C-alpha cells in the first residue's frame, strides 16, 4: 500500500525531502507561506469582518426603541444573493453588488407586526445610485432620507454613499409609516457622509429635463451589447418628449466605430438613414413613428437624443449635453 505524503513546511533547509517512495516535496518559501496565509485571511476572516461592518449599520437597542430585532441578521454574498431575491439578483450584480444584510424588526415583539430592513453594499456611490434609480419613477413620492428616498405606504428605498437601503412593512398604516421612517433615519445616521449624489448626474443638463428621470447604466446602452455604460434622462421640449443620453468611452470600441454599428442595427430594424450634417451630428435616423435618433461623437464619448419628433429639438439637446461634458482639447 502506498504511503501518504504529509505536508511539511521547512524554512531553513532547501534540499528536497523524500516523503514517500513515489513523491518528492519541495519546501515552501517564506513568500509562498505569506501568500497562503493571506489567502486564508481573505477566505475565512475578511468575509466575517466585512459582514460585521455591514451589520453595524443596522439599528440596535436601545436606539431602535419599540422596534426590536427578531432573529439574527442574515447575510448574502454575490454567490448566494439569488437565494434571497431570485429573479432580481442579476440586476444587482450588474450594479456591482458586494454583500447584503437583512434584518426583521418587530413592534413590541409582535410577530404579526414587522418591518424588514435590507442593506445592500455596492461597489461605489455610482452603483448605489444606479440600482436605486432603476426602481425610480417621476410620479413617486420623494423625501430627503439619505441622498434621496422613494416613500410609499409599504416601503422606503434610499441610497447613501455606496449603500442601497430597502425597507418594507408587513402592512400599511401609521404604525408602519412611522416605524419605517424611524429605522431609515437611524440607518442614514450610521452611514454618515455628505449625502451628495454622484458627479455623473450633473453631466446631463437640467434645462427641459424631467424631474427624477436620470438613470445610470453600467453596460449595454441603447440595449446594445457592444456598447458600454452611460447616463440618460427624459426631456420635454415644448410638446415634444424624448430621451437624452451620454454613452461612456469603451476602450475596445472607438466612438466612430460604435456609431457605425448602431447605424447598422437600426437599418436592420427598418429605420431610415438621414444624411447627417457633419458639422452638427454623426448620425441621424428616423423610424416609422417619425421619431429621430441622433448621435454625435464628443471626443471619446457619444452624446445622443432619441424619441423626439423634431430634429431641431434633438440637435438643441445634443448641443446642451456637449457643453456639459466640457471635455478639454
CATH value at residue 169: 3.40.1000.70
Whether residue 101 sits in one domain with residue 25? no
Grid cell 447604466 in the structure block, residue: 217
Query: What is the extent of the structural domain holding 110?
Result: 56-191
Kindly report the CA angle at 249 between 292 and 316, in degrees rounded to 5? 35
Whether residue 215 sits in one domain with residue 304? yes
Picking from 42-51, 151-160, 216-225, 243-252, which range would have the lowest pLDDT averaged per residue? Answer: 42-51
State which of 191, 222, 250 marks the end of a domain: 191
Picking from 13-22, 30-39, 215-224, 278-287, which range would have the lowest pLDDT averaged per residue? Answer: 13-22
State which of 7, 26, 46 marks the end of a domain: 46
Domain assignment present for 1 = no
Which pLDDT score, from 0 to 100, does residue 299 have? 81
Which pLDDT score, from 0 to 100, does residue 17 have? 45
For residue range 104-150, what is the model confidence (pLDDT) as tens digits? 999 987 777 899 999 999 999 999 999 999 999 888 999 999 999 99
Which pLDDT score, from 0 to 100, does residue 151 have? 96
Which backbone phi and psi does 181 adopt, to 5 degrees? -65, -40
Whether residue 180 sits in one domain with residue 219? no
Whether residue 213 sits in one domain with residue 114? no
Which pLDDT score, from 0 to 100, does residue 20 have? 52
Give the whole-angstrom CA distance, residue 167 versus residue 160: 14
Whether residue 173 sits in one domain with residue 206? no
Which pLDDT score, from 0 to 100, does residue 250 have? 87
Whether residue 79 sits in one domain with residue 42? no
Give the whole-angstrom CA distance, residue 187 versus residue 129: 17
Whether residue 275 sits in one domain with residue 177? no
Which pLDDT score, from 0 to 100, does residue 251 have? 87
For residue range 257-278, what is the model confidence (pLDDT) as tens digits? 999 999 999 999 999 998 665 5
Give the whole-angstrom CA distance, residue 9 versus residue 25: 10
How many domains, in total, are found in the chain? 3
Which pLDDT score, from 0 to 100, does residue 277 have? 55
Whether residue 284 has pLDDT greater than 90: yes
**Residue 164: closest CA among 54, 273, 69:** 54
Domain assignment present for 163 = yes
**Mean pLDDT within 244-251:** 93
Residue 284's beta-bridge partner residues? 274, 294
Which pLDDT score, from 0 to 100, does residue 8 have? 43
Amino acid at each position: 500500500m502506498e504511503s501518504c505524503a504529509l505536508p511539511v513546511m521547512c524554512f531553513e533547509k532547501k534540499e528536497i525531502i523524500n516523503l514517500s517512495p513515489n513523491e518528492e516535496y519541495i519546501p515552501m518559501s517564506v513568500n509562498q507561506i505569506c501568500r497562503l496565509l493571506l489567502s486564508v485571511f481573505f477566505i475565512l476572516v475578511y468575509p466575517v469582518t466585512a459582514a460585521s461592518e455591514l451589520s453595524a449599520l443596522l439599528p440596535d437597542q436601545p436606539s431602535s426603541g419599540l422596534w426590536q430585532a427578531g432573529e439574527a441578521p442574515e447575510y448574502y454574498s454575490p454567490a448566494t444573493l439569488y437565494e434571497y431575491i431570485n429573479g432580481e439578483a442579476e440586476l444587482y450584480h450588474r450594479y456591482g453588488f458586494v454583500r447584503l444584510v437583512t434584518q426583521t424588526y418587530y413592534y413590541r415583539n409582535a410577530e404579526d407586526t414587522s418591518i424588514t430592513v435590507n442593506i445592500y453594499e455596492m461597489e461605489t456611490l455610482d452603483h448605489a445610485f444606479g440600482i436605486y434609480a432603476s426602481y425610480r419613477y417621476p410620479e413617486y413620492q420623494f423625501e430627503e432620507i439619505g441622498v434621496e428616498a422613494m416613500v410609499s405606504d409599504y416601503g422606503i428605498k434610499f441610497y447613501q454613499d455606496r449603500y442601497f437601503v430597502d425597507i418594507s412593512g408587513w402592512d400599511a398604516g401609521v404604525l408602519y409609516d412611522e416605524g419605517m421612517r424611524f429605522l431609515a433615519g437611524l440607518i442614514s445616521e450610521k452611514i454618515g457622509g455628505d449625502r451628495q449624489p454622484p458627479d455623473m448626474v450633473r453631466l446631463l443638463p437640467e434645462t427641459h429635463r424631467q424631474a427624477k428621470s436620470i438613470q445610470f447604466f453600467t453596460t449595454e446602452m441603447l440595449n446594445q451589447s457592444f456598447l458600454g455604460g452611460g447616463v440618460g434622462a427624459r426631456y420635454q421640449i415644448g410638446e415634444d418628449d424624448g430621451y437624452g443620453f451620454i454613452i461612456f468611452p469603451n476602450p475596445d470600441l472607438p466612438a466612430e466605430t460604435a456609431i457605425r454599428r448602431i447605424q447598422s442595427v437600426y437599418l436592420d430594424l427598418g429605420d431610415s438613414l438621414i444624411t447627417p450634417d457633419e458639422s452638427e451630428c454623426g448620425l441621424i435616423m428616423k423610424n416609422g413613428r417619425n421619431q429621430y435618433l441622433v448621435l454625435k461623437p464628443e471626443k471619446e464619448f457619444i452624446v445622443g437624443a432619441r424619441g423626439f419628433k423634431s430634429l431641431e429639438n434633438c440637435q438643441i439637446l445634443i448641443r446642451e449635453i456637449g457643453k456639459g461634458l466640457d471635455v478639454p482639447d
